[in-house]
Amino acid sequence: MTEPLARPRRKDPLKKTRLPLNPQGARSRAAHGLTAAAAEGRFVLQSCADCSAVVYPPRDACPVCLSPRLPYKDVDARGVLLAETTVRSSTDPYFRERTPWRIGTVKLDAGPVLVAHLHGDTKEGGRVRLGLKLDKSGAPVAIALPEQDTPHMGDDPQLRELTCDPKFRRVLITDGRTAVGQAMAKAFSEAGSSIIFVGIADAWKPFPGMDALRGIERVEIIPLDITDSESVLEQAEQNGGRIDIIVNTAEHIRAGGIIERRGINIAREEMDVRYFGLMRLAQAFGPGMRFRGADGVNSATAIVNLLSVYALMNWPTYGAHSAAEAACLSATQSLRAELRSGGVRMVNVFFGPLETEWFQTVPPPKVAPAVLARAVIEALKKGLEDVFVGDVAEDVRLRLAVNPKALERELAG
């Protein structure tokens, strides 16, 4: 049984801050097929297109028939834990700080044998299911989980190293004026976050849902305008040392393509909120988060960026908006690399049209803010990096994977 996490006490300023370290993150190109799956929370292994052999570790030729056609496919993640060991002496500084550390040999029903991290509720000789996760270096690893969920299983220290669980962590939601920001605050409160800082620009201006937002447990409203560098810096100075997760809910959505826009003022605002806004956040909060990436139970762990799925392929109906989202997406890829040294994850959550005022004219299916918020919590609990919420986002993801050019034409309408 997993020992439930105790609420971390206020940090003793005289105690050492455990500095962030990463396990070895180098992987072969073939192994990055696992990275892609772990980022989305799928369990895949190479499966020979010619003889169907399921293969691990990742290879460039099938060890049964030598075929080079080894695509990754979803496979049954269940198996038996044949043997386990507790590593007490490690040559790697990351693990030296974290021993004792349990690993084991798992024989999958699908065939291959994997060396895997072990969740505390697994037993030698017992049934397990494997999960693919990204470790602090951003590289894919397998962890054996108990076959059925167990109480508090997310609190297991080895699993928690691979996730960004919001429980007992302190969150900053950058914009509480929006329906999405408010749904997010509620969801983090329910997920057990210790403080939910919610940014409000121009607090004197009332907004719908204000009273309900103030009523959510452990919500603390703070002044924050992510289009104002000073405002962002001030918040980082005030609260940056105790923010473990940032969810960037700042949005700027207007319909229209490029030619229809008169001038570039609105486009500039879009960029200011979405691209420069993220940059301001990252510059102000990033260094501190990176430094606290291994600082105990409530270490800094993730920046969540909410993105239109049309960041991946422009939707001309919202063409200028899509372009700003694409700029924001590109920035997250750089941030992902820059945050990695601190073990802080950059989570991109993609979604289609939302059930909000800015998408009134768009037909369903649309994503309700509460659904989006739940998806963010799930993503953090599972340790995902790329999340697609709702039918439209999933549709775009699949079409993009098959034929990006076709998708471009299809979105043009």
Partner 1 sequence: MTSTPSRRKAYDGVALCAPVTVPYRRYSTNSAHWWIGRALQALTKQAGLQPTDLDGLSVSSFTVGPDTAIGLTQHFGLTPRWLDHVPFGGASGMVGLRRAARAVQAGDADIVACVAGDTNHVDSFRKTLATFSRFAQDAVYPYGSGGANASFALIAKNYMNTYGARREDFGKICVAQRDNAMGVPHALMKKALTLDEYMAARPISDPIHLFDCVMPCAGAEAFLVCSEQTARSLELKSVRVLSTIERHNAFPGDPIQVRGGWAMDAGELWSMAGVKPDDIDFVETYDDYPVITMMQLEDLGFCKKGEAADFVRSHTLTNNGTFPHNTCGGQLSVGQAGAAGGYLGLVEALRQLTDAPLGTHVPDARIGLVSGFGMINYDRGLASGAAILARAA
Tokens coding 142 = 């397998």
In the complex with partner 1, the residue whose CB is nearer, 45 or 304, is 45
Q: Which residues face 106 on adjacent strands? A: 81, 114
Question: Which region among 137-145, 171-179, 323-331, 337-345 touches partner 1 (by CB under 8 A)?
Answer: 137-145
**Nearest distance from C-beta of residue 343 to partner 1, angstroms:** 14
In the complex with partner 1, the residue whose CB is nearer, 32 or 366, is 32
Member of 40, 76, 124, 147 binding partner 1 (CB under 8 A): 124
Q: Which residues face 305 on adjacent strands? A: 248, 348
76 belongs to the binding site for partner 1 (CB under 8 A): no
**Nearest distance from C-beta of residue 407 to partner 1, angstroms:** 32
Question: Which region among 84-92, 269-277, 334-342, 350-358 touches partner 1 (by CB under 8 A)?
Answer: 84-92
- Relative to beta strand 170-173, strand 195-200 is parallel
Q: Label residue 405 exposed, middle or buried (CB < 10 Å: 0-12, 13-18, 19+).
A: exposed
**Nearest distance from C-beta of residue 141 to partner 1, angstroms:** 5
In the complex with partner 1, the residue whose CB is nearer, 13 or 125, is 125
319 belongs to the binding site for partner 1 (CB under 8 A): no
**Nearest distance from C-beta of residue 345 to partner 1, angstroms:** 17
In the complex with partner 1, the residue whose CB is nearer, 111 or 287, is 111
- The residues that touch partner 1, with contacts defined as CB under 8 A, are 23-28, 30-31, 56-58, 63, 82-92, 94-95, 99, 101, 103-105, 107, 113-117, 124-125, 135, 137, 139, 141
